[in-house]
Chains A and B, each alone.
Chain A
Amino acid sequence: MAKAIATALVDAQPAARTTRNHSRNRIAARIAGTPGQSPALHVEHDCVPAPDDAGWLRLLQEGQLAQTHGPFALACEDRDGTVTLARDAIGERSLFYTLLPDGRVIYASRLQDILATGLVTRELDLTSVATYLSWSYLPGRETLVRGIYKVMPGEVVRVKSGNVTRSRWWSLPGEPEQWRDEDALRGELRERLETAVRRRLPAGRPVGATLSGGIDSSLVVALAGQLHDAPVVTYSVSFGAEYRNELPFSAVVARHCGVEQRIVEITPRVVIDELDRTIALLGDPIGDPLTVPNAMLFREAAREVGVVLNGEGGDPCFGGPKNTPMVLAELFGNLYGSDPARHRAASYLRAHQKCYDDLTAMLDPQAFTAIPAHALEDWVTPYLQDQRWKSFVGRLMSINLLCKGAHHILGKVDALSGPFGVLPRAPLFDRDVVETAFAMPPQLKLRGTVEKYLLKEAVRDLLPREIIERPKSGMLVPVQGWFRGPLLPQARERLLDGLAPWGLFRRDYLERLLDGRLLGIHTRRGVKIWLLITLEAWLRGVLRD
């Protein structure tokens, strides 16, 4: 390996090299893995400081990728036919690959580009379909296309002659033997937050920041406002006067921090007009109703800034929602004799509040029986039993970071910002910040019922009290309102005419969902319709394209 890398340094063709600057240059689909191939290196990154090609090869060769700071996806082709793929620690950049029957490998930043080679059978993985319906994203290595995989965050994948070996260059630290005291942790966290924001500021140029008015985006804006040497411009979403929005909170923050605020109005018309284009950008479907709003914010920001900060990462790192329901499920949920491990897994899946409990009713019987029994529960169980975390909430946080952080939040941000040429930067997913977060006792994340307690304490001086102490609600999107009224006809057409012919779903379920006739108290109709129209748009725009 060492020798091959050295050769690559000399032999790699300039055209095959990536730009050395921070770039949104995606790694285009490459078919590689033949002995005698020309050595090549492809990197998409946003690291500070930025290694040059020789630097990347040295870091890879010497197992020193931990010296990098920031997002990257990397692919190296050696003369002996070895292909090495690697991704940043947290999952800020994407990298997909598949093996061909002859032992070669195709890799690319975007799953769509692998499909476009025409060398992959476009076959749906039905277990992944059920996973998507339960999680609203795909939390692991598997994609929705059978045989196409993700390089996992913090992972190095080597393929030689069709054999795959995987190793990790970074893992989330487990719980320490002894916790440090609150003051020390708070001080360290503040310092690391400031460093993480400072590291992401484009010196001398305006920087954008998305601002919801929640604690996470607000603290990033506040720190950027203090630390940046050029204007900070914030971008907030409004869903229109007829729906609830968070503008009063974001306006307070923008005023308090003395930064400009641009408001992007996302009407139902915009949502449906932009849906297909937005979902077609996603390698994995992500059934989060913020996909279109996120894309629209990036589009707007791209008009005036090149870097957009965000507050993503606060929930999975510092103790966001869903922990107390899981605690309740632990305390009460096993009164009825179910297997404890499977019950815990089922509760975790149920906590996503998507379609986990609907799978039997919604999936076509043939599709349903093709999915191995308990496949979803068995997939998540090892995470729920990982003994590196002794505390229950600590373990939940680790899963949230490794699954939701890496495969939902960051995957979405990466895919939706790229086409607009802006660099998304997430200080709360900074590796040092993450490591500090996981060095905190879980009781300082969820303190009684107060979520993200220590994060709030670390930035209390930066923000108005009403922001620090505002109840957590999540970023609410009026999907139920949209599908009660303005978008119902489009939803009907997309589900009954678009999705039903795929043979994955029972038509009677789709009709009952659309008509509001699902059984149950909280049917979460809007969320489920959104999940399904996203899938339909993805099947049509990515898989079938």
Chain B
Amino acid sequence: MRAMTRGTSAPQRALEADIADYSFDRAVICDRARTADILLANNFHFENNCAVLAIDGYPEAQFETVRAMLKRNPRLRVFALHDAKGKGCRLAHTLANDPAWFAGQVDVVDVGLRPRHTRAFRGLLQPSVQPVTPGNGISSSDAAWLSAQTLELAAIRPEQVLKRMYKALNRKDSDGDGGAGGNGGSSSSDDSAGNAGYAGGGGASGGSGSSVSYDNTSFAHEASDGESDSDGFG
């Protein structure tokens, strides 16, 4: 894994005008910049043809440009990646319902940490600093759990998070209409075993045409890299 080396004085160059005219097949929206940085520092965006943003406006220089580009693709696949915290567990709901994001346009898959994922990480829980109310993407039982404790993605090995993300993106593509595929050329052949796929509902579906589904697969599962037999482009 690469270390995060985000600097504040990176030399910037004006982007060519046409760059903002295109779009992407997929986007991962994170609840905090630190998580976005894990993906970006490891070239996740480049390997997966996937935009990466944090909901609070990171990376700042390209944030609005990228968000506008995403809205240009009506078949965009959106993945929400977050901590097991109140704000994080509402992320997918927000993305699916906020007009500034994707309300009524595209469905969102919640691939973040939720209370159901935390059993394997009991020793890493932190006490919660504020109560969490149910609704807007959080069930009553989850609200009770999140009011008592939290778990940050930073507690999990970045490699584990990345592998799970690779699998999540590829599974979604193969389950759907094929999408446009990533640039990795992987097929679904290695991705099926032991995964529950996406469960819809969960008490948190969006109410305005965009729905939310949940990736219930374990964060502790030793995910493979999802490489298929057919990884050689002609």
| Partner-B contacts on A (CB < 8 A) | 243-244, 288-290, 293, 321-325, 327-340, 347, 350-351, 353, 390-395, 441-443, 446, 448-449, 451, 470-481, 484, 521-527, 530
Contact = CB atoms under 8 A, between A and B. Distances in A.
Nearest to B44: A521
Contacts of B45: 328-329, 332
Contact of B231 (A441, A521, A524): A524
Given A347-B46, A442-B18, A472-B180, A521 B232 contact: no
Nearest to A242: B229
A332 B229 contact: no
A325 B225 contact: no
A443 B163 contact: no
A527 B226 CA distance: 15
The main secondary structure of chain B at its interface with chain A is loop
Contacts of A526: 227, 229, 231-232
14 contacts: A288-B234, A328-B45, A328-B51, A331-B51, A332-B40, A332-B45, A335-B6, A337-B11, A392-B19, A446-B22, A449-B24, A476-B185, A481-B228, A521-B166
B11 A340 contact: yes
- Number of contact residues on B: which range applies? 35 or more
Contacts of B17: 390-391
Contact of A331 (B19, B184, B233): B19
A472 B40 CA distance: 25
Contacts of A441: 18
A481 B229 contact: yes
B129 interface: no
Given A243-B229, A350-B46, A473-B185, A336 B41 contact: yes
A347 B189 CA distance: 29
A523 B225 contact: yes
A522 B159 CA distance: 11
Contact of B232 (A324, A333, A394, A478): A478
B193 interface: no
A494 B100 CA distance: 56
A337 B7 contact: yes
A474 B234 contact: yes
Given A330-B19, A470-B178, A476-B233, 10 more contacts: A244-B229, A332-B51, A353-B233, A390-B17, A391-B17, A449-B22, A472-B180, A481-B229, A522-B47, A523-B225
Most buried by B among A289, A335, A446, A472: A335
Nearest to B61: A335
A328 B50 contact: yes
Nearest to B183: A325
B140 interface: no
B232 A479 contact: yes
A445 B22 CA distance: 10
Nearest to B224: A521
Contact of B23 (A243, A244, A333, A448): A448
A312 to B, nearest CB: 10
Interface in B78-108: none
Given A332-B62, A476-B234, A521-B159, A353 B72 contact: no
B19 A335 contact: no
A486 to B, nearest CB: 11
B156 to A, nearest CB: 15
B18 A391 contact: yes
A97 B159 CA distance: 49
A477 B233 contact: yes
Contacts of A474: 185, 233-234
Nearest to A290: B234
B49 A328 contact: yes
Nearest to A443: B21
Contacts of A470: 178
A357 to B, nearest CB: 9
Contacts of B166: 521-522
Contacts of B234: 288-290, 293, 474-477
